[in-house]
Amino acid sequence: MTDSDTAPKKILIVTAHPEPRSLNASLSAFAADELRAAGHEVRTSDLYAMKWKATVDADDFPDHSPEDRLAVMPASERATTANRLTPDVAAEQEKVLWSDALILQFPMWWFSAPAILKGWIDRVFTAGFGYGPLLPPPYSEGALGGRRALISVTLGARESSFSDRGIHGRLTDVLHPLQHGLFWFAGIAPLEPFALYGIDTDLPQDRVEAAKHAYARRLSTLFTDTPVPYRTLTGGAYDHDMRLLPNAEREGTSGLDLHIAAP
Amino acid sequence: MTDSDTAPKKILIVTAHPEPRSLNASLSAFAADELRAAGHEVRTSDLYAMKWKATVDADDFPDHSPEDRLAVMPASERATTANRLTPDVAAEQEKVLWSDALILQFPMWWFSAPAILKGWIDRVFTAGFGYGPLLPPPYSEGALGGRRALISVTLGARESSFSDRGIHGRLTDVLHPLQHGLFWFAGIAPLEPFALYGIDTDLPQDRVEAAKHAYARRLSTLFTDTPVPYRTLTGGAYDHDMRLLPNAEREGTSGLDLHIAAP
């Protein structure tokens, strides 16, 4: 461990659960306490408490004229470049830029993030901020390089059902749109997700404590764990059409694992 | 083709784009015209035009007491069973039940559906409607069996980047949370998605016409195309922990393809 691994860091925790007394809310509060106790700085975005607007629409772009056809990508890029985003979006972008690590805390709903969190992503990661022609190439240093991200997710299902041969698909494949499609696309290095399975409504207190204990262990290595070693777009493994070159995969890999560089 | 393939059917088209003059909006209007011209009945849910509420919260459950901790799954199941959902959700459930086929029309944003559409899924597919212990097992006849679904998606990226070796992942894997996690989980048979790649803001009119032509062809076989042959949970291929049995996969398959029964 180097000095920079143990130096105080800045963490943004984004939480998406409607109930302040939920396990998700308590895991986020617990993480904030743990990380602060370890000397780090923490900021939070509790999306339900903030009454976060989930939907991208014309109101997001104050300079967009209502008579004009709304093309989201160009409107998003113009507003970002001109510093004319709405205050709520600008505030979240500032938090992301401030952070060394991002934690997304959410319950899995229909095999992805709750809509309010998807709306945080859709609205905050604007063209010119999270992606776009004015930025470094995706899947590399990207727009937001130098940061890492941890998904902390609760699931009602059993772990076996999200295992390699589980019917829901491997958790890592189900979360690919976030891990690779959002984080890694924007240059943020994703860690293996922290997943709590079999989460019922009335979780016994001993299981809550066990969950916090396990989460504390994961948080203690937030800045030393090796991120998922996704390939960079610019590292020579892809052709000009963004396809992995013939025989570039590790032996025996297929599917989404093609895009992982090391075992 | 049997009689039942050519008999008039009922189709629900759900659209998620903020601009009424967008390609997405025009594809949905085009689909409605085409399907009606073929003798089918069509209903639509234009989520932005409806100002669809994207976020699941306590207001979704009128019988939920604000003093009580909101546990979403039980609250959702109680409200569904007691016929005490909000009118907007009840109306969408009625449309889904009415339909023989569901079309979701959306632009790919951050490798998944726009938040407003995720919020339609989160709010409409309640426990007791789309999933839950009171319903038939998932990934089988399911809650909503006998229906089929088509995703019609526009993407800015090139087709190669979503191909087998494309860096974004295969489109079928990226859409797994919807195709397998939503539709097939609830018993709805998903068709291969209809995808339009390289969609720029100002698409030349000849490309719009070509897109409509291709879409018309797909729509003409909406009720005769073979759905993606996902495995059923109850068909004998999975163990009691919902894992695919050893050696049950087709030779050479791995990843999310494990859950497809035939080539």
Which pLDDT does position A2 carry in this prediction?
Answer: 55
**Angle at the Cα of A185 from the Cα atoms of B165 and A42, rounded to 5 degrees:** 145
Burial letters B23-50, b for 16+ CB under 10 A, else e? bbbbbbbbbbebbeebebebebbbbbee
Element holding B189 (H helix, E strand): strand B189-190
Per-residue model confidence as pLDDT tens digits over A17-40:
999 999 999 999 999 999 999 999
In one-letter notation, the amino acid at residue A52 is: W
Question: Residue A116: left if φ>0, alpha if ψ -120 to 50, beta else—which one?
Answer: alpha
Burial letters A142-167, b for 16+ CB under 10 A, else e? bbbeebbbbbbbbbbbeebbbbebbb
**Coil, strand or helix at A105:** strand
Residue of A nearest to B177 (CA): A111
Instruction: Give the C-alpha separation, A133 to A202, whole Å.
Output: 48
Instruction: Give the C-alpha separation, A31 to A50, whole Å.
Output: 19
Q: Across the interface, do B114 and A176 touch by the CB < 8 Å criterion?
A: no
Mutate to test the interface with A, among B17, B67, B110, B153 (most CBs of A within 10 A): B110
In this predicted structure, the answer to whether residue B246 has a pLDDT above a threshold of 90 is yes
Q: What is the DSSP letter of A86?
A: -
Kindly list the structural domains of chain B, giving each domain's residue range(s) and its CATH number in brackets, ordered by start. 3-228 (3.40.50.360), 231-263 (no CATH)
User: Which residue from A107, A110, A163 is facing B182, i.e. has the nearest CB?
Assistant: A110
Residue B62 confidence class, pLDDT cut points 50, 70, 90 = very high
Per-residue model confidence as pLDDT tens digits over A112-143:
999 999 999 999 999 999 998 889 999 988 88
Mutate to test the interface with B, among A26, A47, A112 (most CBs of B within 10 A): A112
| DSSP E strands, B30-85 | 41-46
Q: Across the interface, do A58 and B238 touch by the CB < 8 Å criterion?
A: no
**Coil, strand or helix at B206:** helix
Which pLDDT does position A9 carry in this prediction?
Answer: 98
Instruction: Give the C-alpha separation, B31 to A86, whole Å.
Output: 35
Q: Residues B15, B44: contact at Cβ < 8 Å?
A: yes
What is the average pLDDT across A227-239? Answer: 96
Q: Which of A77-81, A95-99, A227-231, B133-137 has the lowest mean pLDDT?
A: B133-137
Q: Across the interface, do A73 and B244 touch by the CB < 8 Å criterion?
A: no
Mutate to test the interface with B, among A118, A131, A180, A234 (most CBs of B within 10 A): A118
Residue B263 confidence class, pLDDT cut points 50, 70, 90 = confident
**Angle at the Cα of A11 from the Cα atoms of A6 and A13, rounded to 5 degrees:** 145
What is the average pLDDT across A139-166? Answer: 95
Which pLDDT does position A141 carry in this prediction?
Answer: 80
User: Which residue from B107, B166, B256 is facing A173, i.e. has the nearest CB?
Assistant: B256
Per-residue model confidence as pLDDT tens digits over A193-224:
999 999 988 889 999 999 999 999 999 999 99
Instruction: Give the C-alpha separation, B149 to B184, whole Å.
Output: 9
Per-residue model confidence as pLDDT tens digits over A243-254:
999 999 999 899
Which residues in chain A have Cβ-Cβ distances shorter than 8 Å to B54? 54-55, 115-116, 119
Q: Across the interface, do A73 and B125 touch by the CB < 8 Å criterion?
A: no
Q: What is the DSSP letter of A183?
A: I
Q: Across the interface, do B167 and A55 touch by the CB < 8 Å criterion?
A: no
**Coil, strand or helix at A112:** strand
